[in-house]
Amino acid sequence: MQERILQCAQQEIETRGIRFTMADLARRAGISTKTLYASFPSKEVLIARLIADSIEELKASEDRILHDPNLDLTEKMRELLALVPSGFARTDLRVWYELKRYYPAQWKMVEEVYQEEWEHVRVLLEQGVEAGVFRPVQLPILILMYTGALDQLIDQQLSGRHQMTIGEALDAMIDILLGGVLAAPATRGETGK
């Protein structure tokens, strides 16, 4: 029963965002609100469970990325920086804004997992610098740039105008962080010098 409720809650989030009601969820699941509250005593508990399950999947993905021999350091870095809790990957930035604004305790769960992820980024960065793949950068500045850009994307809710999912927004942001804005030297032409 709980798994069915969680699947329906994920559908509600994808359709309505975090602001769905428990009555909406009960209707979607085809159960009474009494049955719903017997499984999840509050919406906060339900959302915390969704996030906890997604974080568990995120950590498994993180482990897969870090130990995949078919990925080079650049691909590992890109994939690691683009990881989001899977249950929220297809949602737009509005959902992340609602989560951050209306469910601070649950948002803290997301923030904590991202703090842990930076240790993996640090290790990849050091390996990449040693291998000549990455240039030396100050990790605290990279973290500030990434988290600041992500916070701005969420707070500005660009998805309302551009219909971006969190995954699409992160991909665009990571392209700029890892590749910069300069064209490759061979494609710059004479005016780009």
- Residue 15 identity: T
Q: Are 90 and 167 in contact (CB under 8 A)?
A: yes
What pLDDT is recorded for position 138? 94
High-pLDDT (> 70) share of the chain, %: 89
pLDDT of 15 over the 90 cut: no
Domains within the chain, CATH numbers bracketed = 1-41 (1.10.10.60), 54-183 (1.10.357)
Across 22-39, average pLDDT: 96
**Using 50, 70 and 90 to split pLDDT, how confident is the model at 139?**
very high
What confidence score (pLDDT) does residue 159 get?
45
Cα 175 from Cα 172, distance rounded (Å): 5
Tens-digit pLDDT profile for residues 51-72: 999 889 889 999 999 999 999 9
